[in-house]
Amino acid sequence: MNLNTNLPKIGSLSQSLQAALVDKINHKTKPLGALGQLEAVALQLGLIQQTLTPQLSNPTLMVFAGDHGVVNSGVSPYPQAVTAQMVLNFLQGGAAINVFARQHNMRLRVIDAGVNHDFDVHTDLIHAKVAAGTANFLQEAAMTSAQCQQALATGASLARQEVASGCNVFGFGEMGIGNTSSASCLMSVLCGIPIEECVGRGTGLDDAGLAQKLSILKQAIDFHDMGGDNALDVLATFGGYEIAMMAGAMLGAAEQQAVLLIDGFIATAALLVAAQLQPNILQYCVFTHCSGEAGHRRLLAHLGATPLLDIGLRLGEGTGAALAYPLVQAAVNFMNEMASFESAGVSTAEDAA
């Protein structure tokens, strides 16, 4: 596949402020390293924003929805219609992500990337449908090259629009019955990890259902018989429109020096694609949690990621990103508001020496 869209180019973060940021963190009124991962997040945000006083503005959760043709082969206990039903639940404010977004004052953007349903116009729904669900990748590629590139480019454009309206921190989530199957295949092929180590129970498969899901996905990977050296081809073959559009949005957000809050297994699979296209994107990512989905911990390890939370979440929707956002806020707040030893008149270990 030739990448002929205007996808973002992401440069490596300047390290020019690293020493000053570390010095500021180390001279807060606490023992060295006492705030653990919050210190790493504070340093990362300072480098992303190239400032000693990072700020978070207009936090936005982008939840992409799409349907998957492979559901027709029996990989999920839920019917495909649940995707559209859950999108309507988002729009009515009744889903978990609505609750957590309200709690933390985060804007929620729901995007129809490829749901097999025609939604009415709604002020809280972005209509960006590429097609009414992907093809069944057990029999053919999930999408064409043109559809894949359209989804990526649309996602990047949507992220740029949010940045233009004042957002500098994004959470990413998804809804799509069957999308753990898509994510498992993306992970297996792109990482070179056996599919058995990538497949989980998704929305609640029993042992028999899990065995059937694994069998179907093994057949699909064998059928396409492709390597992992071309992320765009792999995405078009096994991806979903919501995954492709999310990957594009991640690229667009990082291009604009925004902070990326990465949710669970599906969102991390989208990032995996984005990182193969633009490896520097990982410098902009805060990994919010490790989910209960079987492949997620292995995928985080592959990316060298240390998640903020590990509380057994496996819902998707961006819920992990929303729940971890206060920790990211705390990293910014201690950086900007916590006294230094000097300003507070507190003695240091160096003074004692």
Tell me the pLDDT tens digit for each residue of 169-194: 999 999 999 999 999 999 999 999 99
4 falls in which pLDDT band (50, 70, 90)?
very low
Catalytic residues: 317
DSSP class of residue 136 equals -
Going from the C-alpha of 178 to that of each of 7, 17, 28, 112, 125, the distances in angstroms are 27, 44, 47, 16, 22
Work out the average pLDDT over 291-312: 96
Please name the helix (run of DSSP H) or strand (run of DSSP E) that holds residue 52, with its range, or none: none
Work out the average pLDDT over 300-315: 97
* Whether the predicted pLDDT of 210 surpasses 60: yes
With vertex at residue 305, the alpha carbon angle to CA 294 and CA 272, rounded to the nearest 5 degrees, is: 70
Pairing of the two strands 125-127 and 107-114 = parallel
Going from the C-alpha of 213 to that of each of 70, 110, 180, 270, 298, the distances in angstroms are 10, 28, 10, 21, 19
Work out the average pLDDT over 69-91: 96
352 falls in which pLDDT band (50, 70, 90)?
low
